[in-house]
Amino acid sequence: MDNLTFRYSVLLVEGLNVTPQSSFPAFILILILYIFIMLSNIGMMIQILVEKSLHQPMYIIFCNLTLNDILGSTVLMPHLLKDILTDPSKRYITYVECVIQAYFTHLNVLVGILIGLSVRLSHCRSVIQNHFCDNASLFKLSCENTVINNVYGLTFAVVLFASSIGSVALTYLRIMMVCFKSKNKANYSKAIKTCSAHLTVYIIMFVSGCVAIFLHRFPVYGETRKLGSVMFHIIPPGLNPIIYGIQAKEIRQKMVKLFRNKVNTK
Region for 124 from its dihedrals, namely left if φ exceeds 0, alpha if ψ lies in -120 to 50, beta otherwise: alpha
Contact 136, 98 (CB under 8 A): no
How far is residue 117's CA from residue 69's CA, in Å, rounded to a whole number? 26
Could you tell me which of 67, 57, 65, 26 has the C-alpha nearest to residue 205?
65
When computed from its CA atoms, the radius of gyration of the chain, rounded to whole angstroms, is: 21
pLDDT band at 185 (very low <50, low <70, confident <90, very high): low
Give the contacts of 30 (CB within 8 A, at least 6 positions apart).
77, 80, 81, 84, 234
How far is residue 189's CA from residue 253's CA, in Å, rounded to a whole number? 19
- Give 30: exposed, middle or buried? Use CB within 10 Å, 0-12, 13-18, 19+: middle
Mean pLDDT confidence for 38-51: 85
| CATH label, 3-265, candidates 1.20.1070.10, 1.10.10.10, 1.10.540.10, 1.10.1200.10 | 1.20.1070.10
Mean pLDDT confidence for 180-209: 72
Q: What pLDDT is recorded for position 255?
A: 63
Is the pLDDT score of 236 beyond 50? yes
Could you tell me which of 136, 152, 127 has the C-alpha nearest to residue 102?
136
Is the pLDDT score of 240 beyond 50? yes
Q: What is the pLDDT of residues 101-139, one digit of tens each?
A: 888 776 654 566 777 778 878 888 888 988 888 888 888
Contact 59, 251 (CB under 8 A): yes
Mean pLDDT confidence for 20-42: 91
Domain boundaries in the chain? Answer: 3-265
- Give 250: exposed, middle or buried? Use CB within 10 Å, 0-12, 13-18, 19+: middle
Mean pLDDT confidence for 205-214: 77
How far is residue 91's CA from residue 10's CA, in Å, rounded to a whole number? 10
Is the pLDDT score of 1 beyond 80? no
Strands 10-13 and 92-94: antiparallel
The 3-state DSSP class for residue 169 equals helix
More confident residue, 150 or 166: 166
- Give 222: exposed, middle or buried? Use CB within 10 Å, 0-12, 13-18, 19+: middle
